[in-house]
Amino acid sequence: MSRKAGNSSARKLLSARKSPARETSAILPPPPGQGKRGEQGYLAYLLRQAQAASRLSMERALASLGVTTPQFVVLTMLRAYPGLSGAELARVALLTPQTVGVIIRNLERDGAIAKTPHPVHGRVLQWALTRRGTRLLDNCRRHALAQERRLTAGLNAKSQAIVRRWLSKIATDLQEV
């Protein structure tokens, strides 16, 4: 057998290995709300799917204000709990300390938050909303409330309370001790 013929046979063999002779038909997943992406799905997956859809919707709504969803969360937590340190903000906002550090720098640069030293632990910085930050958060809240209305459409007050209690219980029960 000539060298040229040998190389040709080797190429054919490699080519056959790369592309299988049999065709495989992919099963296309259903859209959200159907099959395993609907009521037949695992709860953890459905929670993740709902969270992803909610976050994307919120990101799109807040983009017009130049605010990211994590920034909105930090502003919201500072309104609820003024004087938090960066580490405390990271814990309550469910973000990494590094991410919160970047968010704090950007919000401070934009005049939305201000720092003060902790009265006892002077090296610890406490953060609070400024007037500008409060106005920005109020504008963000309008978008958030519109999303809340979409999320709760079709639910009466009792059903909303049940869902909120259930979601809170999940977060509490699954925390690492």
Domain ranges of the chain: 41-171
Placement of tokens 């639910």 in the chain: 155
116's tokens: 């003060």
Q: Each residue of 36-92: pLDDT tens digit?
A: 888 889 999 999 999 999 999 999 999 999 999 999 999 999 999 999 999 999 999
Q: Is the pLDDT of residue 21 over 60?
A: no
- Measure the CA–CA gap between 82 and 59, rounded to whole angstroms: 24
Report how far apart the first and last C-alpha atoms of the chain are (Å, whole number): 71
- The DSSP symbol for 126 reads E
pLDDT band at 103 (very low <50, low <70, confident <90, very high): very high
Least confident of 2-16, 89-103, 123-137: 2-16
Quickly list DSSP for 90-119. HHHHT--HHHHHHHHHHHHHTTSEEEEE-S
Q: Give me the architecture of the 41-171 domain, per CATH.
A: Orthogonal Bundle (1.10)
Q: Each residue of 113-129: pLDDT tens digit?
A: 999 887 787 788 999 99
Question: What is the structure's pLDDT at 122?
Answer: 73
- Measure the CA–CA gap between 74 and 58, rounded to whole angstroms: 14
Question: What is the structure's pLDDT at 123?
Answer: 82
pTM of structure: 0.77
